[in-house]
Structure 1
Amino acid sequence: MELALICAQQVIVLFLLIGVGTLAVKTGVLKLEHKQPLSNLLVNIVVPAMIVNSYQMEFSLEILRNLLAAFGLSILTIALGTVLTLALTARRKNSRTAIFRFASIFSNAAYMGFPLISALFGSEGLLYASAYVTVFNVLLWTLGYSMVSGSSDPKAVVKSLAHTPAIYAVLVGLAIYLLQIPIPALLAQPISLLGAMNTPLSMLITGMLIAAGDLKSIVCSRPIWKLAAMRMLVIPALCLGAFALLGLFRFGMAAQVVLLLECCPAAAITSVFAVQFGHDEQFAAGCVVLTTLLSILTLPLCALVLTMA
């Protein structure tokens, strides 16, 4: 129950930050075209800095075991979501299918998940979250990319992965952690400060995304609600059930972190891919906006279930 209450409090804090982003757009302080450069700053600098910073801790064999477990659990959760989504949409053939599948499979782990994990579990939780994000990014730029682009060109996939800073940050972080490389304070402090920007910046961007959406049409859209049910209820329920059945909660914090990240709303990059590859932009944006709003209720509920597991 304590974890659920903390989660509820943190989600409210995040929601208030989202409100600041929305208000900033509505009042003209920020413009919608600022969303892309801010997103680039977050993904290419802030998140990698936060990941590297999370690995700066004393070596522990138990934490290493949990970190390796987090990699395995991350593969399992995303695989479960992928198999279920593909099975339920096997006969679905329309212009929204690719976006529906992508938004169902890939959560908004970096934008919504990392701030929540940081608040709930601290640096150790971020360590396990980095494992999830590594698996997430590899699958995003392989399976996800081919899903929305219609292309499975290995060169394009390798190029996409090579331009994913979070993966390099994990490799650097692992080297720092495993070899216990001391980071001079002159470098450690700016890395820490940049990493601390993740929560406010990611929530401001989410707020800008909500400001750009037509909430009335989103709330009245049946297809978007179907996607929201899949992303926010069906897939998390399947993963929670699988963890309970297989006894995976024995991994403690690592299991809780992975599940909370899997319970996050649809990935913000869904809208970007929709624009880039000519899919239904309104549907993609609606999926991100509605699932983000619903997460205000579902994430504390997920945390409550985890405390009871």
Structure 2
Amino acid sequence: MLSGFYQGEIDLEISVVFNSIISLFIMIAVGFYSRKRDIITEEMCKGLVNILIQIALPFMIFTSFLNIQSSSVRENVIKTIYYSLGAYVLMGASSYLLLLPVKNDKKTVLHFANIFVNTGYVGFPILDSLYGPEGIIYGSIFNMFFVIFVWTYGVILYKGRLGGGELLQEIKRTLLNPSILAVCVGLLVMFLNIKIPEVLISASKGIGNLTVPLSMMIIGSTLSKVKLNTYLREWSIYYGALIKLIIIPMIV
């Protein structure tokens, strides 16, 4: 009888995951269709990206920290900081070693792609669908390190060594990133038990809820303009995909 109960629980979880993924793909399809029909233009797509990154996603991150009372979540936040830092160090070292056979200019591009995966467009909608606000909290902390490293190490990969003025500018850009500010404010609210007026919570959640449909439609819009034939002929793309999607996740 107990085995039947647990099997029912597993089936229910699989059903929830499956329905969530199908829902995301439908949104991607809508974005794909809208771009093909020029309902979403190139300029409009750029505007949607700005709304997503500058407004919707930060609000989604901030609201995930509200009403968190569990001490275990607070402990896990500290652990996530260490794990995220360790993950990026491992990804960087593994990618560097595994890409030694690649000798052309694509090495830098593949190294960048292996380390800096898109945690915003795809990651947060999936986390929200599967794990809810708690998943967003952990994901936002991981994304914070993404922003820090992409505007420091990522810039160095393409530009070379940064001067003092350039480094200061990149650090300033990082600290003023809306997603990082949202994480910092959210952590303060959570650890200090600051009470936020209900009207602000409601408005923030409403804006944050734009994140999932916006990000999926942007992905669909972007995919509609991708010419796969250009990339399918290059062996380094397959090798890079193997490293990024299989080898590095197994190591990390």
* Deviations, residues 87-111 of structure 1 (Å, cap 9, x unaligned): 1224544222221111111111111
Runs of at least 5 residues in structure 1 that lack an aligned partner in the other structure: 240-309
Q: Is the 8 A contact 1:50 1:194 kept in 2?
A: yes
Please point out which of 227, 236, 244 is paired with 1:214. Answer: 227
For residues 38 and 231 of structure 1, the distance between their equivalents in structure 2, rounded to whole angstroms, comes to 28
Q: Which residue of 2 aligns with 1:21?
A: 31
For residues 215 and 64 of structure 1, the distance between their equivalents in structure 2, rounded to whole angstroms, comes to 44
| TM alignment of 1:2-41, pairs within 5 A | 6-41=16-51
Please point out which of 64, 73, 77 is paired with 1:54. Answer: 64
Question: TM-score, normalised on structure 1?
Answer: 0.72
State the Cα distance separating 1:4 from its structure 2 match: 5.6
Q: Which residue of 2 aligns with 1:139?
A: 149
Indicate how the Cα distance of structure 1 residues 118 and 156 shifts in structure 2: closer, same or farther if over 3 A, else same: same
Indicate how the Cα distance of structure 1 residues 97 and 208 shifts in structure 2: closer, same or farther if over 3 A, else same: same
Q: Which amino acid aligns with 1:95?
A: D
Between 213-222 and 24-33, the greater mean CA deviation after superposition: 213-222
| Cα RMSD for the two superposed structures | 1.8
* Deviations, residues 145-180 of structure 1 (Å, cap 9, x unaligned): 211333433223213313411111111101111111
Please point out which of 129, 133, 143 is paired with 2:139. Answer: 129
Q: Is the 8 A contact 2:57 2:179 kept in 1?
A: yes
| TM alignment of 1:168-247, pairs within 5 A | 168-239=181-252
Question: TM-score, normalised on structure 2?
Answer: 0.88
Q: Identical aligned pairs, as a percentage? A: 28
For residues 15 and 239 of structure 2, the distance between their equivalents in structure 1, rounded to whole angstroms, comes to 28
For residues 239 and 44 of structure 2, the distance between their equivalents in structure 1, rounded to whole angstroms, comes to 30
Q: Which has the higher Rg, Structure 1 or Structure 2?
A: 2
**For this pair of structures, how many residues does the alignment match?**
239
Please point out which of 93, 106, 114 is paired with 1:104. Answer: 114
Q: Is the 8 A contact 2:61 2:137 kept in 1?
A: yes
Greater relative contact order (Cα < 8 A, sep 6+): 2
Q: Which amino acid aligns with 1:128?
A: Y
Q: Is the 8 A contact 1:59 1:178 kept in 2?
A: no
For residues 48 and 159 of structure 2, the distance between their equivalents in structure 1, rounded to whole angstroms, comes to 24
